[in-house]
Amino acid sequence: MKLSMSMSYAGGFLAAVEQVQAYEKAGVDMVWVAEAYGNDAPTLMGYIAAKTERIEIASGILPIYTRTPTLLAMTAAGLDEISGGRAVLGLGASGPQVIEGFHGIPYDRPLQRTREIIDICRMVWRRERLEYDGKAYHLPLPEGQGTGLGKALKIITHPQRADIPIYVASLGPKNVQMTAELADGWLPIFYNPHKANDVWGDDLAAGFAKRSSDLGPLQIVAGGAIGFGDEETAKKVRDANRPMVALYVGGMGARDKNFYNDLFCRYGYEAEAKEIQDLYLSGKKDEAAAAIPDDFLRASSLFGDEGFVREQVQAYKDAGVTALSVAPIGDDPIGVLEKVKAWAD
């Protein structure tokens, strides 16, 4: 099992890159760079590539609506070249608030778009001439659209790899099935290793039944804050996650269309999910955070005494996680990472 980490911008990006360099030496294998409505991810990823030697550099995630499929492929190919084959293309739909509010692009057909983007990216990296007639994307534009001068092209440069890994952030049943069928890796959120199979097992199996043997096993990335401490400290660490969980479960999307709220219901927290959403949407954010079930926070936690942490690492591994996402907490983050790396190996 690999170790992965999400890029932290606390204290500034340049300082965070120094942290990535130290964590790379401690055994971290992958770093994920987010893109929401701040700095773009590829610029930052290129800088990381210049400052590291071994760690894989992944977009976590690039929204599927903000770039054409071919630009996504070109960006991944460029990063793969300058990093010496260390690029990972992480994709996701983001949400209507960002896509329509910040980018002014309709949030439509996320599942179909993701499927076609994966196809087109792989065509680009294989240097195929781009003739693609999808439901969301057409290359070149059909007759009667545009100037009529477009023609099928292939990428001029020679990508370092024709199989740059594509990871997809997905939650809903159909999206998870598509991820298991087509993607190299899966990025779930709010992952409870003790209930993951109950929630996603059937969806993953349905996707695996259609999966090409050429892709190999699906890689799964999940985890969270990790470190060692007594129960009082562990509770503080778990409670620090409450506002973020409440934001997603309570405030992301409309009342009747919130993927994260749906996930909480699938975990068995139907009443709690409704209460959290009602509180959050009425402006009672602190009360919504307090309503997050303690057992959910504990089940997904990686902070506690050494025995508990080691058991949790094993639980993630048993659930199929191939890259444990870690954010070390404490006075000796390098020591934490080295110990967990030994367990993961």
Over residues 281-298, the pLDDT tens digits come to 999 999 999 999 999 999
pTM of the model: 0.96
Over residues 134-172, the pLDDT tens digits come to 999 999 999 889 998 999 999 999 999 999 999 999 999
pLDDT given for residue 296 in this prediction: 97
Average pLDDT for 246-256: 89
CA-closest candidate to residue 122, choices 179, 62, 178, 69? 69
Residue type (1 letter), 36: A
pLDDT given for residue 75 in this prediction: 98
Q: Which DSSP category does 249 fall into?
A: I
Number of domains in the chain: 1
pLDDT tier for residue 95 given thresholds of 50, 70 and 90? confident
pLDDT tier for residue 105 given thresholds of 50, 70 and 90? very high
pLDDT tier for residue 337 given thresholds of 50, 70 and 90? very high
Over residues 167-189, the pLDDT tens digits come to 999 999 999 999 999 999 999 99
Distance, CA of 167 to CA of 101 (rounded, Å): 25
Q: Is the Cα dihedral 63, 68, 69, 71 positive or negative? A: negative
Please indicate, yes or no, if residue 98 is contained in any of the structural domains. Answer: yes
Q: Cβ(109)–Cβ(81) under 8 Å? A: no
pLDDT given for residue 292 in this prediction: 98
Long-range contacts of 40-46 (CB under 8 A, 24+ apart): 42/75, 42/78, 42/79, 44/7, 44/13, 45/79, 45/87, 46/78, 46/79, 46/82
Q: 45: part of which helix (H) or strand (E)?
A: helix 41-51
Tell the burial category of 193 from Cβ atoms under 10 Å away from its Cβ (0-12, 13-18, 19+): buried
Non-local CB neighbours of 193 within 8 Å, separated by 6+ positions = 222, 299, 300, 312, 315, 316, 318, 319, 321
What is the CATH classification number for the domain harbouring 88?
3.20.20.30
Please indicate, yes or no, if residue 268 is contained in any of the structural domains. Answer: no
Domain containing 202 equals: 2-227+302-344
Please indicate, yes or no, if residue 22 is contained in any of the structural domains. Answer: yes
Distance, CA of 323 to CA of 238 (rounded, Å): 21
Q: Give percent above pLDDT 90 in the chain.
A: 93
Please indicate, yes or no, if residue 95 is contained in any of the structural domains. Answer: yes
Q: Cβ(281)–Cβ(251) under 8 Å? A: yes
Over residues 43-65, the pLDDT tens digits come to 999 999 999 999 999 999 999 99
Tell the burial category of 219 from Cβ atoms under 10 Å away from its Cβ (0-12, 13-18, 19+): buried
Over residues 12-42, the pLDDT tens digits come to 999 999 999 999 999 999 999 999 999 999 9
pLDDT given for residue 311 in this prediction: 97
Distance, CA of 175 to CA of 168 (rounded, Å): 9
Is 80 exceeded by the pLDDT of residue 253?
Answer: no
Residue 79 Cα distances to 50, 59, 86, angstroms: 10, 10, 8
Non-local CB neighbours of 301 within 8 Å, separated by 6+ positions = 224, 225, 234, 237, 238, 312
Please indicate, yes or no, if residue 6 is contained in any of the structural domains. Answer: yes
Name the one residue in this structure whose structure tokens are 């942490």. Answer: 309
Please indicate, yes or no, if residue 262 is contained in any of the structural domains. Answer: no
pLDDT given for residue 1 in this prediction: 95
Please indicate, yes or no, if residue 294 is contained in any of the structural domains. Answer: no
pLDDT given for residue 9 in this prediction: 81
Please indicate, yes or no, if residue 96 is contained in any of the structural domains. Answer: yes
Average pLDDT for 234-256: 93
